[in-house]
Structure 1
Amino acid sequence: MITLITGATSGIGEELAKQYAALGDRVIACGRNEEKLAQLSGYNNIEACKFDATDVDAVKQATAHYEQFDRVILNAGNCEYINDARNFDSALFARVITTNLLSMGYCLDALLPKIKSGGQLVIVSSSVTYLPLPRSEAYGASKAGVSYLAKSLAVDLTDVDVSLVHPGFVKTPLTQKNDFPMPMAVTAEKAADYIIKGVSKRRKEIHFPYRFTLILKCLRVLPLPLWLKLAKGLSR
């Protein structure tokens, strides 16, 4: 099996690369961090592929020599918060949308035609899409777009299975900067385990940790005015 993973130099992507390699897959670990890519290429079954996912030409050039993949996992992303919505930071907004959403389109352009018939496309979004949360105007909007994109692809693709991943809080270098509680947070190793098990069963949606995501799914049935009152309390 050949598995390509974007965002493989940190967090969930790094753990996915290591765990799939341990299972015997030939793993193409993609990212921008040369030092981390060099470390990953030291593992059996992992080869590095360096590109910036926000540059469609770079993605195409770096992956041109690969003919076919059994599985593509689009995991690359970043998180920045809008700390003052009244003074909206459009540059930050554009940066997050480009990194999290537009890059998905660039990777799909380059990689989707290379997924073999009967193969799998895995798109990593976030459970932030279940509810509007404080300071999440940029991150939440980008991930909402990612989730809709994955669901639409699941409708239109007839020979590739699409799995959409909605993680809760995961302990990674990216979330270390969070200055708020992260209830029921799991390690990156555990997150990768959840994803691999869900992908092996070809689940359409993979969400975890289940207790946390089920709570969010229940809360989203609340009338919007009621949720907004609750959410405003979270931001204080």
Structure 2
Amino acid sequence: MSMQKRVWLTGASSGMGLAMAELLAKQGHRLALTARKAQPLLELAERFPGQILVVTADITDAHAVREAAERIGAAWGALDLVILNAGTCEYMDLPEFDAALFARVMQTNVQGTVQCIEAALPLLRAGSRPRLVGMGSSVTYVPLPRAEAYGASKAALRYLFQSLELDLAQFGIKVSLVSPGFVDTPLTAANDFPMPMQVSSDKAARAIIQGIERGKREIRFPGPFISLLRLIGSLPASLRVSLTRRLARPANTSGGS
């Protein structure tokens, strides 16, 4: 991105978000950074004086999101790039299906994202060569055990952004979806299972920004891992299920009702 852009980045306080914020700041862009935790954003703003607008907000709070967009609009009048990176992940452990867990994940990953889209679109329509970027996941290529909530939320985002690409074309707004594999972040640090071909947050950030610069519709990485998942997802259902169900944990039914 050779031209200086006005960028709104959510989930910017850690992991891929913080790595992207630092990379974009080094490239000279003006950044509006949103997260629930202000301190990492303020520390980055001190390193890049005059470039960073710190806009703390919980994306599940519609009022806070609207206020954040209003602050950005008052400061800059428009946005050229919006990267909706904020999200969460929780895994389901059957036989107890946890509807509250499902609701939490959907509230953050889906509802939080669409609230940001609603707030960002007027600013993007006023921007220069605007682009909207959403954070999907490689989990959408093949159903996996324990990922009922997380996978469903990311599948919803895939459909959402693919539909938005069609409807936003008339306004000159491009749309990209990021589909990463395992990335080393504070969120994945809590995972209690192997994460093959995991990449660092810095490497993920570079892949995302390069993909945006190249105008990619979907930004996928790491390549070998994505290819493997897509291959498994393309298999006949009986074979795909036979392979992936081996990853499921034996149910702990002791004491269950």
TM over 0.5: yes
Map of 2:29 onto structure 1: 25
Map of 2:255 onto structure 1: none
In 1, Cα distance between equivalents of 2:192 and 2:106? 22
Map of 2:44 onto structure 1: 40
* Deviation (angstroms), 1:36: 1.9
Map of 1:235 onto structure 2: 248
* Deviation (angstroms), 1:195: 0.4
Runs of 4+ in structure 1 over 6 Å off: none
* Deviation (angstroms), 1:57: 1.2
Matched, 1:64 2:70: yes
Map of 2:12 onto structure 1: 8
State the SS of the aligned residue for 1:64.
Answer: helix
Map of 1:73 onto structure 2: 83
Matched, 1:185 2:198: yes
* Higher mean displacement: 7-16 or 36-45: 36-45
Q: Which amino acid aligns with 1:78?
A: T
Q: For the Cα contact (< 8 Å) 1:130–1:216, is it kept in 2?
A: yes
Q: Which amino acid aligns with 1:71?
A: L
State how many pairs are aligned: 235
1:158-177 alignment runs, 5 A limit:
158=169, 159-177=172-190
* Deviation (angstroms), 1:117: 5.3
Map of 1:50 onto structure 2: 56
Matched, 1:151 2:155: no
* Higher mean displacement: 17-26 or 108-117: 108-117
* Deviation (angstroms), 1:46: 2.2
State the SS of the aligned residue for 1:162.
Answer: strand
In 1, Cα distance between equivalents of 2:143 and 2:219? 20
In 1, Cα distance between equivalents of 2:44 and 2:11? 12
Cα deviation per residue 1:22-57 (whole Å; 9 max; x = unaligned)?
000011111110222222222212221111101111
> Normalized per residue, which structure has more strand?
1
State the SS of the aligned residue for 1:206.
Answer: strand
Structure 2, unmatched stretches of 5+, are 250-257
Identity percentage of aligned residues? 46
In 1, Cα distance between equivalents of 2:101 and 2:86? 17
Q: Which amino acid aligns with 2:81?
A: R
In 2, Cα distance between equivalents of 1:170 and 1:77? 13
* Higher mean displacement: 28-37 or 170-179: 28-37
In 2, Cα distance between equivalents of 1:212 and 1:146? 21
Please tell me the root mean square deviation across aligned C-alpha atoms, in Å: 1.0
State the SS of the aligned residue for 1:173.
Answer: coil
Map of 1:90 onto structure 2: 99
Report the TM-score when normalising by structure 1. 0.97
In 1, Cα distance between equivalents of 2:204 and 2:106? 24
Q: For the Cα contact (< 8 Å) 1:101–1:146, is it kept in 2?
A: yes
Map of 2:132 onto structure 1: 121
Map of 1:219 onto structure 2: 232
Q: Which amino acid aligns with 2:30?
A: R
Q: For the Cα contact (< 8 Å) 1:169–1:184, is it kept in 2?
A: yes
In 2, Cα distance between equivalents of 1:72 and 1:104? 11
In 2, Cα distance between equivalents of 1:119 and 1:148? 20
